[in-house]
Amino acid sequence: MFNKILIANRGEIALRVIRACKEMGVKSLAVYSVADKEALHTRVADGAICIGPAKSSDSYLNITSIISSMEVADAEAVHPGYGFLAENAAFAEACEKCGIKFIGPTSAVMKLMGNKIQAKKLAEELKVPVLQWSNSALATEKDALEVSKKIGFPVLIKAAAGGGGRGMKLVHTQAALAGAFNMARMEAIAAFGDGEVFIEKYCELPRHIEIQIMADEHGNVIHLGERECSIQRRHQKILEESPSMAVDPKLRHKMGEAAVRLAKAINYTNAGTVEFLLDKNKNFYFMEMNTRIQVEHPVTEMVTGTDIVKEQIRIAGGQRLSLKQKDVTFKGHSIECRVNAEDPRTFVPCPGKITELVIPGGLGVRIETALYCGYTVLPYYDNLLAKVVVHAQTRGEAIARMVRTLEEFHIGGIKTNIPLHLKILKDHDFIAGNIDIDFLSRFT
Ligand code: MV4
C-alpha cells in the first residue's frame, strides 16, 4: 500500500479522502491556497503545502505546483477528489510520466470518455442503448438540418468536449436550427477549444439515473446500483437518493450490466459513473461516463455498505476489488441533501463568516463537511457547505429523518438552501416519487 497520498482538493471531499487515508494507515498530504490556510483540510492532514494564490487556476488547478509538492514531500499517489483536476487527462498523463499514481482511471481512458462522440460510438457498438443521433460530428448547417429532419424535432445540439450539460442547445424548429448550430459551435470553441458538435433526439421529461461502477486493475468490474439525481437546477444536483423509485431489481440488473459492459470494453479502472436518462416508459439511454468520484457517492456507500474512497485507494495500490458482484447487496434507502451557501429563493451564492454552528447527528445521519464555527466561506470556490446524508429502512423513514436532521442543522451568519430542501421534502410529488429533471423548475 502507499506510504503517502497527496489530496489535490479542498473542502468536504478533501476531508473525506484524508479520513480514508488515516483509517488505512496511509499518510495524507494536503495542498492549500493562500486563502485556505485556516481551512479544515489544511489542518487535519498529516502535512500541508501551500500551492499558490486563492484563485483556483493559480492553486488547485496548478499542475506544476501540485506535482512539485509530490516530489518535495515524497508522496506516491494523488487523489483528485471531484472538480478541479479530477477529469483532466493532461494532469493524469503528467502524473503517469512522473511515476506518480493517479487515483482514478488512466489518462487514455479519461481522454476517450472526455469525448462524448467517441463515448457514444463505443456504447452503440456494445449495444448499450443510446438516443437516436447524428452518428458523428456535424460539419455544416446542411448536415445538421438533414440529420434533424430525419430524427425529428425537438433535438439537442451537444458539444463533443462538453458534458455535465455544458454547451447544450435545445432546438424545437427547423427555423431555429442554423442559428443554434453556429452558436453551439462557437461556444464550444470558446469553452473547450474544440468546436465539434453532434445532434441527439431530445428526450422529454426523463429522470437522470447513474450507475456507480468499480473496476480493479485485474479485469474485475462490478456495479453498486443506481443513484437518482433528477432533482437539479441548471445541471447542479441538489438532492440525490438511492435506490431510485423508478428502478426495480430487473432494471437495476439491466442498467448495471450495461455499465459494466462499457467499463470492461475500455479496460476501465478505479471508480466511475455511467450516466443514463430514463424515459417515462422506463427505457434507459447512455449519456456519458464520469471518470471520477462523485459528490453524491455517499448514498451508494450507505445502501451497499462499501467505502468507495478506500476501495479507490486499494485499487490504485494494485489490490483486487474487495467484493464480487454477488456480494453486492442493497439495504434500505439513503438520501443526500447538498447544503449550499446561497439565497434559498434566488440561488445567489452568499459567502461569509459562520458565527454559529450546530451540526446534527443521531442514528442514520452522516454529515460530510469541512465547516467549523468561525470559519469564513470564501467567494473563490464552490458554495457547498455540507452534504447531509441519511440512511433508513424505507424511503418514507429516510425522508422523515432528513427533515428532522435539516431542522436541527443551524448555520448562523450566512444564508443557506436548507429552507428549499425542507420544501422539497414536504412536496407531494417528491414524496410520491413523481420526479424528473424539470421537477425543480416547476417547483420554484
Ligand atoms: C439530454 C437530455 C434530454 N435529451 N439529452 C444533461 C447532462 C448530460 N449528461 C446530458 N444531459 C441531458 N441530455 C437528450 N437527448 C436531458 C439532459 C439533462 C438535462 C437537460 C436540461 C436540463 C437539465 C438536465 C438535467 C439532466 C439531464
| Residues above pLDDT 90, as percent of the chain | 98
The whole domain housing 320 covers 207-443
Q: Please give the pLDDT value at position 444.
A: 73
Q: Where a domain ends, among 54, 85, 103?
A: 103
437 in contact with ligand 1, CB cutoff 6 A? yes
**Mean pLDDT, to the nearest integer, of 50-68?**
98
In this predicted structure, the answer to whether residue 411 has a pLDDT above a threshold of 80 is yes
Q: Are 30 and 47 in contact, with CB atoms under 8 Å apart?
A: yes
Q: Which of 231, 275, 277, 296 to mutate to test the pocket of ligand 1 (most atoms within 8 A of CB)?
A: 277
334 phi and psi, to 5 degrees?
-130, 140
**Mean pLDDT, to the nearest integer, of 9-13?**
98
287 in contact with ligand 1, CB cutoff 6 A? yes
Closest atom of ligand 1 to CA, residue 133: 15
Do 214 and 171 share a structural domain?
Answer: no
Listed as own residue / partner, the contacts of 44-48 with beta carbons closer than 8 Å and 24 or more positions apart are 44/15, 44/18, 45/7, 45/14, 45/18, 46/4, 47/73
Which among 366, 335, 367, 339 is positioned nearest to 240, based on CA atoms? 335
Question: Residue 108 falls within a domain, yes or no?
Answer: no
Do 140 and 92 share a structural domain?
Answer: no
Model pLDDT for residues 342-374, shown as the tens digit of each residue: 998 899 999 999 999 999 999 999 999 999 999
Chain mean pLDDT for the chain: 97
**Mean pLDDT, to the nearest integer, of 57-69?**
98
**Mean pLDDT, to the nearest integer, of 29-36?**
98
Do 218 and 340 share a structural domain?
Answer: yes
Catalytic, out of 16, 185, 292, 314: 292
Model pLDDT for residues 219-273, shown as the tens digit of each residue: 999 999 999 999 999 999 999 999 999 999 999 999 999 999 999 999 999 999 9
Do 365 and 254 share a structural domain?
Answer: yes
254, HSE (Cβ side, Cα atoms, 13 Å):
16
Q: Where a domain ends, among 150, 171, 201?
A: 201
**Mean pLDDT, to the nearest integer, of 83-97?**
98
| Residues above pLDDT 70, as percent of the chain | 100
User: CATH number for the domain including 64?
Assistant: 3.40.50.20
Question: Residue 175 falls within a domain, yes or no?
Answer: yes
Which among 152, 150, 158, 205 is positioned nearest to 184, based on CA atoms? 158
What is the C-alpha to C-alpha distance for residues 120 and 126, in angstroms, rounded to an integer?
10
User: Roughly how many angstroms between the first and final C-alpha of the chain, as a whole number?
Assistant: 49
**Distance, CA 160 to ligand 1 centroid (Å)?**
14
Do 289 and 242 share a structural domain?
Answer: yes
Number of domains in the chain: 3
Please give the distance of CA 340 from its chain centroid, rounded to a whole number.
16
440 in contact with ligand 1, CB cutoff 6 A? no
Do 190 and 59 share a structural domain?
Answer: no
Q: Please give the pLDDT value at position 443.
A: 85
226 in contact with ligand 1, CB cutoff 6 A? no
Q: Please give the pLDDT value at position 344.
A: 84
**Mean pLDDT, to the nearest integer, of 369-384?**
97
- Please tell me the total number of residues recorded for the chain in this structure: 444
**Mean pLDDT, to the nearest integer, of 413-425?**
97
Model pLDDT for residues 189-209, shown as the tens digit of each residue: 999 999 999 999 999 999 999
Q: Please give the pLDDT value at position 166.
A: 84
Do 426 and 370 share a structural domain?
Answer: yes
Q: Where a domain ends, among 103, 123, 156?
A: 103
Do 148 and 279 share a structural domain?
Answer: no
User: CATH number for the domain including 324?
Assistant: 3.30.470.20
What is the C-alpha to C-alpha distance for residues 81 and 87, in angstroms, rounded to an integer?
10
Question: Residue 230 falls within a domain, yes or no?
Answer: yes
The single-letter code of the amino acid at 121 is: K
Question: Residue 14 falls within a domain, yes or no?
Answer: yes
Q: How does DSSP assign 83-103, residue by residue?
A: STTTT-HHHHHHHHHTTPEES
Do 70 and 139 share a structural domain?
Answer: no
288 in contact with ligand 1, CB cutoff 6 A? yes
**Distance, CA 234 to ligand 1 centroid (Å)?**
10
Q: Which of 116, 156, 436 to mutate to test the pocket of ligand 1 (most atoms within 8 A of CB)?
A: 156
Question: Residue 114 falls within a domain, yes or no?
Answer: no
Do 363 and 247 share a structural domain?
Answer: yes
Q: Are 102 and 30 in contact, with CB atoms under 8 Å apart?
A: no
Question: Residue 97 falls within a domain, yes or no?
Answer: yes
Look up residue 178 and give its three cell numbers. 442554423
Do 172 and 301 share a structural domain?
Answer: no
What is the C-alpha to C-alpha distance for residues 434 and 424, in angstroms, rounded to an integer?
12
277 in contact with ligand 1, CB cutoff 6 A? yes
Q: Which residues pair with 375 in a beta bridge?
A: none
Other beta carbons less than 10 A from residue 147's beta carbon = 20
Question: Residue 289 falls within a domain, yes or no?
Answer: yes
Question: Residue 120 falls within a domain, yes or no?
Answer: no
113 in contact with ligand 1, CB cutoff 6 A? no
Which among 77, 69, 75 is positioned nearest to 49, based on CA atoms? 69
Q: Known catalytic residue: 338? A: no
Sequence-ordered strand ranges (E) for 126-204: 155-159, 169-171, 197-201
CA angle 88, 47, 82 (to 5 degrees): 25
User: CATH number for the domain including 183?
Assistant: 3.30.1490.20
In this predicted structure, the answer to whether residue 167 has a pLDDT above a threshold of 90 is no
Do 257 and 158 share a structural domain?
Answer: no
